[in-house]
Amino acid sequence: MLSLYRRHRPRTFDEVVGQEHIVRTLRNAIELGKVHHAYLFVGSRGTGKTSMAKLLACALNAEGGPRVDFSLDDPACRAIMAGNSLDVVEMDAASNNSVDDIRELRENVALAPMGGGSRVYILDEAHMLSTSAWNAFLKTLEEPPQHVVFVLATTEAHKVPATIVDRCHRFDFHRPSLDQIAGVLERVAAAEEIELPPAAGAMIARAATGSFRDALGTLEQLVTYGGSNVELDDVLEILGVADAELVFEAADSLADHDPKAALLAVEKLSASGRDITQFIRDLAAHLRHLFVVQTLGEVPDSFAVTAEQSDRVAAQAERLAQGEILRASDLVAAALSAIKDGSDPRIQLELALLKAAQPQSDLSLQALLFRIEQLERRVAQPGAPESASGEQHQPDGAPAPGEGGPASRPPGVPSAKAPAQRSAPAAAVAAVAVAADPEADPQAAVDLERLQSLWPAVVDAVRSQNAMVGACLEGARPAELEPDCVTIAFPVFAGFSRKTVERNREILQSSLRAVTGQTLSIEYTATDEPMEPAGDASLSEEELIERLKRDYGATEVFDDEPTGGKEG
């Protein structure tokens, strides 16, 4: 028994949905006798490329043809639609992509039509042909016999050689809208006597992501699952809305900065028996959706199956900062990469979610920059109430920075440990120390001398992101400092190093901002003067902290020891 999408393929040009521009062009070509010898049909899966090719074959081989108003009772047309016509050859390039396959095709091209007026060769997934096969096919495609028409269908036009594309008339198939897919589902359901509620049809249309074939395939699966009366709950079950709920829970844990909820989400996922690696891919796609929604200001129809999901996507996009989303996406991508190298999927997922949910546990420069930005936003909040003593209270009831005790530490910023316990990179410590005291104004305090003294920390921060760029900065130093621009001097013989740093300008800018708290544009110059080291290249973390205290007025905050412990 034929599947739904094969039984309900368009049988006339009038039944084609969503491709009016292609139908009109082909109709005119047939009526005017200007049918080209080769067509390239480009479009995503399930948009009707093969169906359109068969309609073109019917029109060319219809009795009294070529004609656009061919009859469905025409024996030639019935044979073409059934797939057993001798004048229409369908080839799958995914499995017939060798030179020998193309040579066989070239030999058969010379054969005259058996019953109709044209022989039509439909080459599906044409981009799968090998380079040698394309070369063997080129001459035949360029100058085929007059009775032959080629239709090449592909989802990836960029993989088709330009020499082939130039010899074809190209048609791009549009993705159908949700209303168009829902209309086809309604028509097929009526023809098959299937009870399909409008809400269920709308959900199937969304889940199909622009594919008529996928939509009809889901409808057929639902009929097999629950009979001809399709229930809304069945649609939710088949479409995997339960899986989507787990993705939303994981994203909620990131928005709430709740590591416990993140681990519970992983535990629930593991107990469900679902594939963890696929879940990580789904989470990566969800994070991308959140970023797109933030950029567009709305939720595209294809991003969610139900209206409730659309609302949750919009709500999560509002709760998560773009920096958090990008950082979480990087962590998820790193988890997938580690899994490919053989790491345990559950461990990688837990690590990614824990790092994303609690940036204070991550000592990477990116995480520290995020925490600094969070702190700066809190410090800059207008209208913070003052106590009777004139102290400005921080959000959430925390006292002003500089007071002792854990409560004095702004959320997201770890305290500076005793010298023997410090483990963060020097640049990271500098970034936290500068940001820890809102009384210090880095943008007003930074001058060339101080920047030169902190230059080793900047180079260290760059090296932590890109070792090559950090090495290229070893022989450079800040030479001039304007209010918003720094000029970096390189030795005249260090052309390669300078070009490497210029190509990675963003890394240097972010590192400068991490250490100085100031956003600076960067210019470069060459000098033949001796390049004295700008500060001690082996500056220790303790020395760097002391210099930041002296130059910036930064405050170093220590955690209280546990109750009953000894001070040391």
Torsion of CA 158, 162, 163, 166, to 10 degrees: 100
State how far the Cα of 211 lies from the Cα of 348, in Å rounded to an integer. Answer: 34
Per-residue CA distances from 567 to 10, 479, 558 (Å): 82, 45, 11
What's the DSSP call for residue 554? -
Please give the pLDDT value at position 67: 87
Torsion-angle region of 405 (φ positive above 0: left; ψ -120 to 50: alpha; else: beta):
left
Angle, helices 505-516 vs 365-379, to 10°: value is: 50
- Residues 486, 520 contacting (CB under 8 angstroms): yes
Q: CA 481, CA 11: separation in Å to the nearest integer?
A: 73
> Looking at residue 402, what is its pLDDT?
38
Domains of the chain: 4-172 (3.40.50.300), 178-238 (1.10.8.60), 241-362 (1.20.272.10), 442-552 (3.30.300.180)
Per-residue pLDDT of the chain (568 residues; tens, 9 = 90+): 678 888 888 888 998 998 999 999 999 999 998 999 999 999 988 888 999 999 999 999 888 878 888 888 888 888 888 888 888 888 888 887 788 888 888 888 888 888 778 889 999 988 988 888 888 888 888 888 888 999 999 999 899 999 999 989 999 999 888 888 989 999 999 988 888 888 888 888 888 888 899 889 989 888 888 788 888 778 877 876 667 888 899 999 998 888 899 999 999 888 887 888 888 988 998 899 888 888 888 887 767 666 677 888 888 888 888 888 888 998 999 899 989 888 899 999 999 999 888 876 555 555 566 556 666 666 666 654 443 334 444 444 444 443 433 333 333 333 333 333 333 444 444 444 444 444 444 444 578 888 888 888 888 888 888 888 888 888 899 999 888 899 999 987 778 888 888 888 888 988 888 887 778 889 998 887 766 544 444 445 565 566 556 655 666 665 454 444 444 4
**HEC string of 518-536?**
CCCEEEEEEECCCCCCCCC
138, 163 in Cβ contact below 8 A?
A: yes
Q: Which residue intervals of 89-177 are DSSP H helices?
A: 99-109, 131-142, 162-165
pLDDT for residue 153: 93
Rounded CA separation 115/75 (Å): 10
| C-alpha span between 265 and 305 (Å, rounded) | 21
Are 322 and 297 contacting, i.e. CB atoms less than 8 angstroms apart?
A: no
Q: Could you tell me which of 131, 137, 124 has the C-alpha nearest to residue 51?
A: 124
8 Å CB contact between 552 and 437: yes
Look up residue 219 and give its amino acid: L
Predicted local distance difference test score (pLDDT) of residue 150: 92
Total H helices, total E strands in the chain: 25, 8
Beta bridge partners of 523: 487
Count of all residues that appear for the chain in the document: 568
pLDDT at 36: 92
* Tokens (6 digits) for 514: 């991490």
**In this structure, are residues 412 and 371 in contact, taking their beta carbons and an 8 Å threshold?**
yes
**Strand-pair partners of 229:** 195
Distance CA 111, CA 127 (A): 26
pLDDT, position 396: 43
Q: Tokens at residue 400, please? A: 């002003």
Sole residue written with tokens 């033949």: 528
C-alpha to C-alpha distance for 353 and 266, rounded to whole angstroms: 9
pTM confidence score: 0.56
In sequence order, what are the residues at sequence separation of 6 or more whose Cβ sits closer than 8 angstroms to the Cβ of residue 149?
A: 35, 36, 37, 38, 39, 56, 57, 60, 118, 119, 120, 121
Quick one: CA torsion of 312, 318, 320, 321, rounded to 10 degrees?
160
**Rounded-to-5 percentages of helix, strand, coil across the chain:** 55, 10, 35
Q: Which of 311, 308, 355 is nearest to 333 (CA)?
A: 355
SS3 234: helix
Q: How far is CA 281 from CA 107, 227, 245, 328, 564, in A?
A: 46, 33, 15, 13, 47
What was the pLDDT predicted at 425? 46
